[in-house]
Amino acid sequence: MTSGKDKSNRYFMTSLTRITDLADDKFDVERIGRVDWGHGDYVAARVTGRRSQLYQVEIRSGRMVEVMEGDVIIGALGKRAATLEGVGSWEAIEDDGRMHALTGAGLLGKATSTSLLIPRLMTLEYEGHVMRDGNTLAMRDFIEPVEGGKFDAPVILMVGTSMSAGKTTAGRVIIHELWNAGLRVVGTKFTGAGRYRDTLSFGDAGAEAVLDFVDAGLPSTVVPRKRFKEAMRYMLSRIAAIEPDVVVAEAGASPMEPYNGEIAIDALSNHVRFVVLCASDPYSVVGVQTAFGLRPDVVTGPATNTTAGIELAEKLTQLPALNLMDPSALPRLRELLKAALPDSYGSACLKHRFA
């Protein structure tokens, strides 16, 4: 048996293992038949092939580490369906055990479609499943127990027209503003296949706690609807136990992609007080409004990078458009947040900062 501390059998523990004790407690790595593999299983895979800029992994701390041929990483089997980068699935892995790192966080599967605009994905070969007492270990085995509390916090919801539309950046700005106002904030990413450092950045901005789908035992949220509904209930119970004043929630890439964003938004619908639409271009704002029936309270993202984009977005949608990277936009953002959260925004909540 070995462990993450065993220097003679060094493994790079990707950030998908952060919910586990694999870095401290012993485990075995054993090969099993392909027919016995399952979604969310932890596996060891050896780095192969010629290096590219994507030959790096995000470890448990959120730090990026460059890996070389022959290094072994521990990740989890899953699926990705990114519109701008790549598509792949653990189910596409063949008997030869060749696979790809679909994300730097350790999401492992075989790529079936990749953008020509990104570097070559890291290639890997299956070494074996992570096991204890003859049983495979999967992400679902490390879900932290939680008592079923009632979720009743107001939600600021961030959705996007696509991936890389500025949701995480907007979330950081909004969390920082709420923290400065004295509010107790939880930052969460309910859907996606993202990097841990994005979620951690919510904490850096002032969130008292951060949470994402990995805590619910999912390597990504490209899963059956029933499984995601279970994960969503779990995440809401975890948040309820923290008793935040407000939740800043990101719903993955866009609500129309196969990451179950629609289910997340539906579960939050009675609690949403403010919707931020992060748009890649002004015309995509209209597309999301029409296709999904969302009425945002503010538009931001790359569509607002210039005054021309802001003017066009406001003309097309009749909504305020703000470049949240521009400090001059923050007073208007504060006004909108105060109007959306009249019962919790203000000096009465300063006690949380000094508790």
- Residue-wise pLDDT for 77-102, tens only, equals 999 998 888 999 999 999 999 999 99
Per-residue pLDDT, 287: 73
Give the CATH number for residue 322. Answer: 3.40.50.300
More confident residue, 354 or 115: 115
**Could you tell me if residue 150 is inside a domain?**
no
Same domain, yes or no, for 222 and 162?
Answer: yes
Single out the residue in 142, 170, 201 at which a domain terminates: 142
Contacts with 185 (C-beta within 8 Å, 6 or more apart), sequence order: 175, 178, 179, 206, 207, 208, 244, 245, 246, 247, 248
CA dist 16 → 79, 236, 346 (Å): 13, 20, 37
Q: What is the mean pLDDT of the chain?
A: 91
| Rounded Cα–Cα distance for residues 38 and 217 (Å) | 13
Burial class (CB in 10 A: 0-12, 13-18, 19+), 220: buried
Same domain, yes or no, for 82 and 15?
Answer: yes
Range of the domain at 58: 7-142
Per-residue pLDDT, 282: 80
Please give the DSSP secondary-structure letter assigned to residue 126.
E
Q: What are phi and psi of 45, to 5 degrees?
A: -140, 140
Per-residue pLDDT, 285: 78
Closest CA to 258 of 79, 22, 109: 79
Please tell me the total count of domains within the chain.
2
Assign 347 a pLDDT band (cuts: 50, 70, 90).
Answer: very low
Single out the residue in 142, 176, 210 at which a domain terminates: 142
Assign 5 a pLDDT band (cuts: 50, 70, 90).
Answer: low
Assign 18 a pLDDT band (cuts: 50, 70, 90).
Answer: very high
- Residue-wise pLDDT for 294-331, tens only, equals 789 999 999 899 999 999 999 988 999 999 999 999 99
Q: What does the DSSP assignment read for 42-89?
A: EEEEEEES---TT-EEEBTTS-EEE--TT-EEEEEE-EEE-SSSEEEE
Same domain, yes or no, for 65 and 172?
Answer: no
Per-residue pLDDT, 350: 46
Per-residue pLDDT, 56: 96
Whether the CB-CB separation of 192 and 213 falls below 8 Å is answered with yes
Per-residue pLDDT, 252: 60
Same domain, yes or no, for 25 and 137?
Answer: yes
Asked if residue 160 has pLDDT above 90, the reply is no
Q: Mean pLDDT across the stretch 123-127?
A: 98
| Rounded Cα–Cα distance for residues 317 and 286 (Å) | 7
Q: Mean pLDDT across the stretch 179-184?
A: 95
Assign 4 a pLDDT band (cuts: 50, 70, 90).
Answer: low
Residue 136 C-alpha from the chain's centroid: 25
Same domain, yes or no, for 127 and 175?
Answer: no
Per-residue pLDDT, 214: 98
Same domain, yes or no, for 182 and 324?
Answer: yes
**Could you tell me if residue 237 is inside a domain?**
yes
Whether the CB-CB separation of 84 and 55 falls below 8 Å is answered with no
Asked if residue 188 has pLDDT above 80, the reply is yes
Same domain, yes or no, for 242 and 189?
Answer: yes
